[in-house]
Structure 1
Amino acid sequence: MEDISVITAVHHPLRRRIVDVLLLHGATRVTALARRLDAQVGSISHHLRMLERAGVVERVADPDGDRRTSWWRLAREGFSWSADDFADSPADALLAREAERHNVRAQLDRLRGWLRTRDDPAYAEYDAFSIDALAWATPEELSDLSRRIQEVLSDWRGGIDAGDGAPRVPVAFFAHGFPTEA
């Protein structure tokens, strides 16, 4: 179970974007983050400290040895939680539900962005997809599905040979598994 401080730290809109950039690009200078995210350096530094307190990012040495620059990287790659994890604390459950709403909103915004640009010739060779399924499952079976999807994504990301020179674009994947009405 995630600590509520991690969940609330990550699901601020700008902090979520910082996490995404660090996930895709690895260790990055504060000034490069500010440029990429069209934000002030001071604002980026503030949000990085918030993420650092939650154990999400960490400072790293400048690869060139320049001690005047501030570099950061993710301290971890994934986050998984449910508002149900916080049933013992109504305040934390409320924060977790709000973070879930922010997360879904961010996922749908990313999907809407793709739908607006999918005819761009730069993406012509990419086979985007949509998958959904409906089945009967116990709570344990739903947890097993989540674990298996996480394993597949981890194996898939680990199998990408970033050193082969092949052109790549960031790829987003999201799935939700939840009880529903037929």
Structure 2
Amino acid sequence: MSRRTASERHLHTSPVSGELLGTETGSALLDVLTAFHHPTRRWLCELLSVEGPAPVGRLASRTGLAVGSVSHHLGTLHRYGFVEPAPDLARDTRERWWRSRPRQVSWDATDYGEGTVARRIASSAEAENFRHHVRAVQRWLTEGEASPPEVRRAAVATDSLVGATVDQMGELSRRLTDLVVEWSEECRADALARPDVPRLPVRVSARVFPSPPVRP
């Protein structure tokens, strides 16, 4: 019996529509949020993004998860465009390689009716996204002191509390988003042009929101 090709093995998890990736709305967006905002799947996405393409077996060893579990999570991520098969890297037909596929996801829980299941899914995704960033910050605070001085100087934490109109807050949100997206694309392009230059996995997280004085 001949083995299935990579495209045949991944046919059932192929992205719903490559043309719509990053523009989903309604129930389609909820499916994306459910797929991505799962701690294990988010972890696998970041491993592939930071450490590069990898076969399922290596990811299983790296995470301590069962091979079947890793394959299941990668299949879900593939369906919603976060990863893609990399059969060109396999040494034989038994190896199943995957690579990261960067894409944007944005949403507003208030787009869904209050008290609905959809609203709960969108709100839960936002809460899980926040917890993910908190875990990342906590790790930096714990391990950052051991980083080289130039790395610590390049990192920054900044905040501001100022009176602003809703329009001004929205404008800041748009400008920050555009800046981060543009900077990320520049970094990816530079990595392709200069693959031998040492790089760090740099996380950018910005939140813009009304906030009264925080009690200690």
TM-score higher than 0.5: yes
- 1:124 partner letter: P
Contact 2:35-2:76 within 8 A present in 1 as well: yes
Provide the C-alpha distance between the structure 2 equivalents of 1:14 and 1:112, rounded to a whole number of angstroms.
Answer: 18
Residue number in structure 2 paired with 1:8: 34
CA-CA distance at 1:109 after TM superposition: 0.8
- 2:211 partner letter: T
Provide the C-alpha distance between the structure 2 equivalents of 1:123 and 1:81, rounded to a whole number of angstroms.
Answer: 37
What do the CA deviations read for 1:50-105 (whole angstroms, capped 9, x no partner)? 22233332223232563221122334422211211223771011011111111111
Query: Unaligned regions of 5+ residues in structure 2, if any?
Result: 1-23
Residue number in structure 1 paired with 2:15: none
Residue number in structure 1 paired with 2:150: 125
Provide the C-alpha distance between the structure 2 equivalents of 1:123 and 1:40, rounded to a whole number of angstroms.
Answer: 36
- Asked if 1:173 corresponds to 2:173, the answer is no
- 2:87 partner letter: A
Contact 1:23-1:77 within 8 A present in 2 as well: no
- 1:181 partner letter: P
**Aligned match for 2:135, one of 92, 97, 109:** 109
CA-CA distance at 1:26 after TM superposition: 4.2
CA-CA distance at 1:25 after TM superposition: 3.7
Report the count of equivalent residues.
Answer: 180
CA-CA distance at 1:116 after TM superposition: 0.5
- Asked if 1:72 corresponds to 2:98, the answer is yes
Residue number in structure 1 paired with 2:3: none
Provide the C-alpha distance between the structure 1 equivalents of 2:112 and 2:84, rounded to a whole number of angstroms.
Answer: 27
Contact 1:10-1:16 within 8 A present in 2 as well: yes
Say what the alpha-carbon RMSD is for the aligned residues: 2.3
Output the TM-score relative to the length of structure 1. 0.85
CA gap of 1:147–1:112, structure 2 versus 1, over 3 A, is: same
Provide the C-alpha distance between the structure 1 equivalents of 2:53 and 2:37, rounded to a whole number of angstroms.
Answer: 20
CA gap of 1:114–1:64, structure 2 versus 1, over 3 A, is: same
Residue number in structure 2 paired with 1:47: 73
Provide the C-alpha distance between the structure 2 equivalents of 1:30 and 1:40, rounded to a whole number of angstroms.
Answer: 10
Provide the C-alpha distance between the structure 1 equivalents of 2:115 and 2:81, rounded to a whole number of angstroms.
Answer: 22
